[in-house]
Chain A
Amino acid sequence: MDGGGMWIAGYGAYVPRFRIAAEEITKIWGEEASRIKEGLGIAEKSVPDIDEDSATIAVEAARNAMYHAGLKDPTEIGAIFFGSESPPYAVKPAASIVAEAIQATPALTAADLEFACKAGTAGIQCVMGMCASGMIRYGMAIGSDTSQGRPGDALEYSAGAGGAAFILGGEKADAVADIKHTCSYTTDTPDFWRRPGADFPSHGGRFTGEPAYFKHVISASQMLMKETGVKAEDLDYAVFHQPNGKFPVQAAKMLGIEKGKIMPGLITPLIGNTYSAASMLGLAATLDVAKPGQRIMATSFGSGAGSDSFLIEVLDGIDAKRGRARAVKSFVDDKEYVDYGTYAKYRRKLKSL
Chain B
Amino acid sequence: MSALYQRSATQIAAAVNAREVSAVEVLGAHMARIERVEPSIGAFLSLTADLAREQARRVDEAVAAGKRLPLAGVPVAVKDNMCLQGTVTTAGSKILAGWVAPYTATAVARLLEAGCLPVGKANLDEFAMGSSCENSALGVTRNPWDTDRVPGGSSGGSVAAVAAGEAALATASDTGGSIREPAAFCGVVGMKPTYGRISRYGLIAFASSLDQIGPIARTVEDAAAMYGVMAGHDPMDATSLPRPVEPTLPALRTDLRGLRVGLVREFDTKDLGEEIDAAYRRAYAQLAALGAEIVDVALPHAEYGLATYYLIAPAEASSNLARFDGVRYGLRVDGANVQEMYGKTRAAGFGPEVKRRILIGTYALSSGYYDAYYVRAQKARTLTAGDFERAFAACDLIACPAASSPAFEFGAKSDDPVSMYLMDYYTIPMSLAGLPALSVPCGFVRDGSPGGRELPLGLQLVAPLYEEARLFAAAHAYEQATRYTLDRQPPVVESVR
Tell me if chain B binds chain A: no
